[in-house]
Every structure is written in structure tokens, then in C-alpha cells.
Chain A
């Protein structure tokens, strides 16, 4: 069961392959999807107004969907996740797995300001690979943290999804900042403003740490380290 979601949100509907592959896709992409994906199930869908929808000029959170992608090759997980987060217009969590491993994909989406029937994916990531069947503490932590009952902010579906997204992001990037995991138990989750403060700082930190690895000149590395330090001190204060 995905994240202990209530039974009322259960769908369990298989998505036919023909619905899965848009006609306008190039033949090589179609071929790659057919080779990689064995089957897709829409397992859960949070809808109704128990958690209010968020619909305005910028966002359309009427449903949050949970899909289950069975893959032939888990190495294709990131490719498939990134592709389908762009195709599926509603907020969704994708579980991608084969017999031995699984990973989860999350994405933040907003409406295209020129055409509000289209979405723009602003941020996305895929978790590390966890064993499908064997017990694993990292996977247990993820499932526990993202469990329906553990999500604090039920103000609306947008806030609810952002909390899931950020909790998963923290667990996936816990090495980026020594105090990252401490946020999971801090009283920040009811305040959207706090979350919007934490997330960009963590992103910035992760991207700067990646850039340091690639930077060539010492002055560049030094400048990045100074920015990292700045972000850390701001996170320490939250």
C-alpha cells in the first residue's frame, strides 16, 4: 500500500498501454517506452474536498494521483519518471519498480501562464533506489515520513503535496546539509512560508555542492563555498 493512503482514495485501475503513449511522440521514444514499461496502474487518487482543492491562476490541484509503474529495467526509472511527470498534468507520485528495486518520483507543477490547459514542471526529482522486497531502513523511513497520517498540512491539496514533496526531497538529499533530517520533526510543516524558505535553500545548497565538484578555478570553488556557507547559516537559523 502506498503511504498508508485511506481506502477511500484507492483506485487500482490499470492504464492501457495505448493511453500511455501519446500519438505525437517520436517513434524512438515510443519504442523506448514500450521496451521499458511493463504496465501502469493508477493505484490511488486523492480527490473530493476532505482536503480542499487549490485552483487559481497559478495552480490546479484538484487531484493528487499515485501511479505504479512496473518497469523491465529499473535503470530506465529516471527517464520514465521525468517523461511522465511532464505528461501527467495533475500532481502525482510515481512508484517505479521492477522485481528487485523501486524508486519514487515527485514533481512540482504550475499552470502555463500563456495557456492554462498546459502545465510547467518547475522542480522534479527521483529518490534513491530501494530494494522492493527486502527490508530497508531508508525505505522504511521514506514510507513512514510520507505516510498519510504523518502529513501535517491539510490546508489544501497544494500544501499537502508540497509537504510530501519536501519530506521526500530532504530524505533524498540528506547529505547536502547535516541538519536536513532534523527538519522532519521540526514544527515547520504547518507554515507554508517556512517551507518555501527551506526548500530553495536546500536546492541552492545541493546545486552549489554539485557545482563545486565541477568547478575548475579555485576562485570559483571559493565563491561557491562562501555561498554554501551562507545557505547553511540561514538553514541553521530556521
Chain B
């Protein structure tokens, strides 16, 4: 139940007028905005129709489109080693930050690389927090200054049903995120979006626009509540289902089928007894067909067995879907006055019989004929069927509170549900893919991925979650959600973690990973001789957090000149921002490399220099303040040869000759060492 607040304002003349207008002409007021064209239409004044098109539009749509396209300046991801688990070997990522910003930061690295995206966004139930997106062009501080975040820099805002742009706010949040999500998907990738009836229509319409209506796969209807167990009797309807919209990126997607048992013979329950000789033999389609009138045969029911027959009604697609259907439609359907007649047609069908019986309807009340088929000779034991778009998960949703070993009652999704979606995405056969959840909440998706990988898979997850301040959320929450937030805060106190939502996600991943490991090790200890032990999947994760840039991207001063003095005397101050560290600089450089995953290894090449780093055995980032001949000689011996060398511009002190000489030397040495004449590496500077 909502408790409308006393409005802050005394007069809202415009608002009142709009309400009056809406009572008279509902179509002229959309989401609190007056649609003048629609009002004119109500008054019979139709505009030219050249602008009419099928689309959903709302206040701010243009901005939302622009937002998806804006670059994210001066922001980066800092690596948080202390929060990470097994960082040296893991390829999973947990990223703390606003997901639009994170999606943009990851866009270079993961463009067209994600096989599956699952998101469980706010459903816009009237009390959700939606993201305030005015961060893209400036840092957090300036947002606060501009008043787009609150004084603690919290970018969330509560979207209440009473607000004028209730739907628009939500759509403005979803649109740019979905647009970038599509960029990240592989061509055969799939996206799953959980939603309830509040916004399903609007969501589907924008998904149709972003992904293309032709790429819509289905709406999963998920039963999550029992019909009769209801606490709020004052509702018009009890919502027992919610939905999951599924879209593919494009035509490369392969349809996933489930395998069903095909051994049952329970439908084979008929036998035909020919009581007397047929009434006549006629020629149909070059076959000698025996015709029995209704008194010359019996169609008896019997126990299911291999030699019995199944009665198949010839209707719908079956009329031309197989040879029996076609024979009936071509030769028997047009014969009249033969109600209940049986036709015995030789050489048709793939069963043990060398004939097939067809039977005409018993009276003119019935339209369709039938045929009797035996068990197919080459029938396989299994058959492929499409997955249904209905899931009964009442029990799973009832028990979800106990999953993950963390206290988070606000819309956790059951692991079994996510495992099912992973199956639908077809990742059973893709053991190396990358999957993403950018509204990851308590990180159920990460746990599900670890569980899915118990089949020996090396699939990687990326979980993104805004570090929501739970104390702040508690202040703003309504009475229904306060208890769940309080419970999470108490839980975080018990494990001595700050009251931030992402702490719950990380803790869940740590705990569930350990649990999976213990379970596998316990099972391996019980193995019998000859049984293969199960490998413990990747249960680690690297943590990154959005932050302001570490790099001073522009080395020129206000006069357009390089500050060579600073370069020489305080090079770190000239190149990097206060409080930077080398590792974060390297990752910031890596965020600008196309299709390079952030989960690769980063090592310090101590035999070359204390500030020379090698990322993923392929990117050499040299942050040394001085480039010596000895250093270049060592770099040239690296095997394998890095595909890119990154140096600091300041290390060359604006000396173009030194640069020329250095890179000529590097090139010559590499040619000599590798025997390669074609230059296979690039050099960049920061």
C-alpha cells in the first residue's frame, strides 16, 4: 500500500490542469506530459501523417540515445587486489560501479565478446531506485557540484509512481544500458532480462527497437508465488508470475532444444481386425487400395505394445507434413459418402507394416480423417523438443532466501533458475565463453556460473553492481523494504564490512566458491577406483572499482607547451594524478585496447625494471622514467614478442631524436632476434 506524501509545493496549477485534461482525453496525456498532437487529434484536427511510425517514445528518449553514445571521459577501473580472490589465476571479474559507466569502460575490451547477458533490473514497482545518469561527462565531484548526485555522491534516485516521469525515468535508465549491452554481445549471443508486469510492455517495445523485433525469442513466464498464499488481500490481482524476455543478437544464434525420451509406446493402443474381404479394390496414386466399409472391420483398443497402432488425426500442418497426410489430402479427402470407411494403402509409412490404414470421419459432423501408424522402424530413443516458455519455480523462489549464505532479501534469483537460463543460452557446449550480469545484486549469477562450470567448463563471469550505500537506501526506503535492508546491514556488521551492497555480492562469491570447492573435494575423496575426480572450477574473481583517471591525458600547459621541467624533475606528477599507482595505470591503458579481456595476468618484469609490466604476455607497459639502451636491449629479447609497447612520453623529455634512435634500435634488435622482417608490434605513449 502506498502512502502518498504531503506535497512540498502548495500550488501546482499546471499539474492540476494536466490532470483535468487527462480525465477528459486520456490519450492526450502520456506519462504526465501533454501530447499536443494527440490532443489535436481528439479535437478532430489531424496533422499530416508523415511523422507517424511504430515506436515507443517518451520524455528524454533522445537524451537516452545520446547517453548511450557519449564516451566516458576521465574515468577508469581501479584494481582492488585486497577484495579479490585467487587473483593470479582467476578469469572472473566483479566490478563495482554504475553499470552504464562500466559498460562503456568495458566496451573496447569486450565488444562482441559476450555470449550471454542476464540482468535483473529494478522492475519499476514504484519504490525502486533508478540510476541517475548525469555522470558521463564529468567526475563525481562535479556531479555533486551540479546537484546531480546527493552530497555524498550517491548516484541513485528513488523513482516513485507519483513522479511525473515515472515511466520515462525508468526507460531513460534502461535504454542506454541495453543499447551498449547489445554491442557487447557476440553475434550468437543471447540476452535475458527479468521483469514483471509493471514495465514488460515498455521493455519489450524498446528491446524490439534495440535488438530488432525479429530477434525476440520468447517471454518466459515464471511462476514464483503460490496462488493462495497471499499476504496483501487488498490487491486487485495477485501476481503469481513474472517474466524473462529473451532476445538473440542476430542470425548466428543456434536454437537450443531439450532432449526428451522417445521410448514410450503408451500411444500405441489400437489394432485393426479385418472381419471380411474388402468391399472393393481401387487404384489411388498408382497403389491398389483396399476399401472396407464400416461393417467389414473393427478398430479395437488394446494394451500398449510394439505391434499395436497409434491413431493420428490428420489436421493442421500434418495435412502436408508427411506422406500419409499428403496421401489422405490428395486422394481420400475428396471422396464423399464414405463415412467411417477404412482404406488399406500399401507401401506407405516407416513402420513394420507394409501398409497403412486410413479411416474417414464417422459422420459429417467431423471434419478430419485419421490414420493408424505402427512404431517407426528407425525411431531413436530420444527426440528433440523446444523448451517450454513456462517455468514453475514456486518452490525455488520460496527457498531462495537461504541461497548464497548471505542476507539479501531484495529480489534474489534462485540458482536453479539461472542455471536453466544458462542452458537456454546454449553455453553447455561453449566451455570458454564470457557471460555478464550488470545488475548483479547479490551476485547469484556468479555463483550459478561457478556451479555450471562443474562440468569442467572455463566459462568466465563478469558481475557489475553499483556500490549502493545501504544506510542511505534505508533512509529512503518505504516500510515494506526497510526490514530487508536492515537485515542486510546487520549481516554486514556481523562480518565487519561496510554497509555497501557490493560487499554482499563479493562475500557471497567468496562463500559459495569455497562451498563448491569443499563439496567437490569431499566427493573426490569418496571416489571409487577408475572414477575421474572432478576439477574445482574457477572460484576466484578479480575486483575492479570505477574511479577517476590516474593519467594526466594532456601534457600540454595552457600555453600549448610541454612542461619539460616537470617531465625531468617530477615525472610522476607530470604524467599521473595524485594517489595513482602503477597497476591502475596499466589497467587504464588496457581499457583502451580492443578485445583484450581484463581478466588476464599482469606481471612485473623485474629483470628489466621495477616499473615495467607485461599484461597477458602481449602488452608491455613501461612506466620507467628513463629509457636506457640497456632497457631497450632487454625489451628486444622478450620472447614472445609483445604485440604492443607502451612508454611514457615524458621518459623521452620531448627529445624527438632520442625517440627515433631508441625505436630504431628496438626495431633492429627485434629483427635480428626474431628473424622477422615485418614489424609485428606497435608502440604507443602516455
**B669 smallest CB distance to A (angstroms):** 13
CB pair A218–B594 under 8 Å, yes or no, is yes
CB pair A178–B639 under 8 Å, yes or no, is yes
Tell me if A59 counts as interface (CB < 8 A to partner B). no
Can you list, as one digit per residue, whether each of A206-238 has a CB less than 8 Å from chain B (1) or not (0)?
000100110001110110111011001000000
Tell me if A175 counts as interface (CB < 8 A to partner B). yes
Closest to B616 in A: A222
CB pair A232–B596 under 8 Å, yes or no, is no
Tell me if A199 counts as interface (CB < 8 A to partner B). no
Tell me if A130 counts as interface (CB < 8 A to partner B). no
Most buried by A among B639, B643, B678: B639
**A70 smallest CB distance to B (angstroms):** 29
Work out how many contacts link A and B, with CB atoms closer than 8 A.
54
CB pair B673–A175 under 8 Å, yes or no, is yes
Complex CA–CA separation, A229 to B618 (angstroms)? 10
Can you list, as one digit per residue, whether each of A170-188 has a CB less than 8 Å from chain B (1) or not (0)?
0000010110000000000
**A179 smallest CB distance to B (angstroms):** 10
Complex CA–CA separation, A41 to B598 (angstroms)? 60
Complex CA–CA separation, A175 to B640 (angstroms)? 11
CB pair B680–A213 under 8 Å, yes or no, is yes
**B593 smallest CB distance to A (angstroms):** 6
Closest to B619 in A: A222
Tell me if B208 counts as interface (CB < 8 A to partner A). no
**B119 smallest CB distance to A (angstroms):** 24
* Range of interface residues on A (Cβ < 8 Å): 10 to 19
Which one of A217, A218, A219, A229 contacts B640 once the chains associate, using CB atoms below 8 Å? A229
Q: Which residues of B contact A219 (CB under 8 A)?
A: 113, 595-597
Tell me if B481 counts as interface (CB < 8 A to partner A). no
Closest to A214 in B: B680
CB pair B617–A225 under 8 Å, yes or no, is yes
Q: A177-B639, A218-B595, A232-B640 are in contact. Are A225 and B618 (CB under 8 A)?
A: yes
Q: For the complex, would chain B's binding face be called helix, strand, loop or mixed by DSSP majority?
A: loop
CB pair A226–B594 under 8 Å, yes or no, is no
**B600 smallest CB distance to A (angstroms):** 7
Q: Which residues of A contact B594 (CB under 8 A)?
A: 217-218
Segment 608-625 of B: residues with Cβ below 8 Å from A: 616-619
Q: Which residues of A contact B637 (CB under 8 A)?
A: 178
Segment 640-686 of B: residues with Cβ below 8 Å from A: 640, 642-643, 673-676, 678, 680
Closest to B595 in A: A219
CB pair A175–B675 under 8 Å, yes or no, is yes
Q: Which residues of B contact A222 (CB under 8 A)?
A: 596, 600, 616-619, 643
Q: Which residues of A contact B616 (CB under 8 A)?
A: 222, 225-226
Q: A213-B676, A218-B594, A218-B618 are in contact. Are A228 and B643 (CB under 8 A)?
A: no
Can you list, as one digit per residue, whether each of B588-610 has a CB less than 8 Å from chain A (1) or not (0)?
00000111110010000000000
CB pair B595–A226 under 8 Å, yes or no, is no
CB pair B678–A225 under 8 Å, yes or no, is no
Q: Which residues of B contact A178 (CB under 8 A)?
A: 637, 639, 673
Complex CA–CA separation, A209 to B680 (angstroms)? 11
Complex CA–CA separation, A93 to B596 (angstroms)? 45
Q: Which residues of A contact B674 (CB under 8 A)?
A: 175, 209
Complex CA–CA separation, A33 to B1 (angstroms)? 92
Q: Which residues of B contact A209 (CB under 8 A)?
A: 640, 674
Closest 10 pairs between A and B when the two form their complex, measured CB to CB: A175-B675, A228-B640, A222-B618, A225-B617, A219-B595, A225-B640, A225-B618, A222-B616, A226-B617, A229-B617
Cross-chain pairs A/B with CB under 8 angstroms, 17 sampled = A175-B675, A177-B639, A213-B676, A218-B593, A218-B596, A219-B595, A221-B643, A222-B616, A222-B618, A225-B616, A225-B618, A225-B640, A225-B642, A228-B639, A228-B640, A232-B639, A232-B640
Chain A residues in the interface with B (C-beta under 8 A): 175, 177-178, 209, 212-213, 217-219, 221-222, 224-226, 228-229, 232
| New A-B pairs, 10, CB < 8 Å, besides A175-B674, A222-B619, A226-B616 | A175-B673, A209-B674, A212-B640, A213-B680, A218-B594, A218-B595, A218-B643, A222-B616, A222-B643, A229-B640
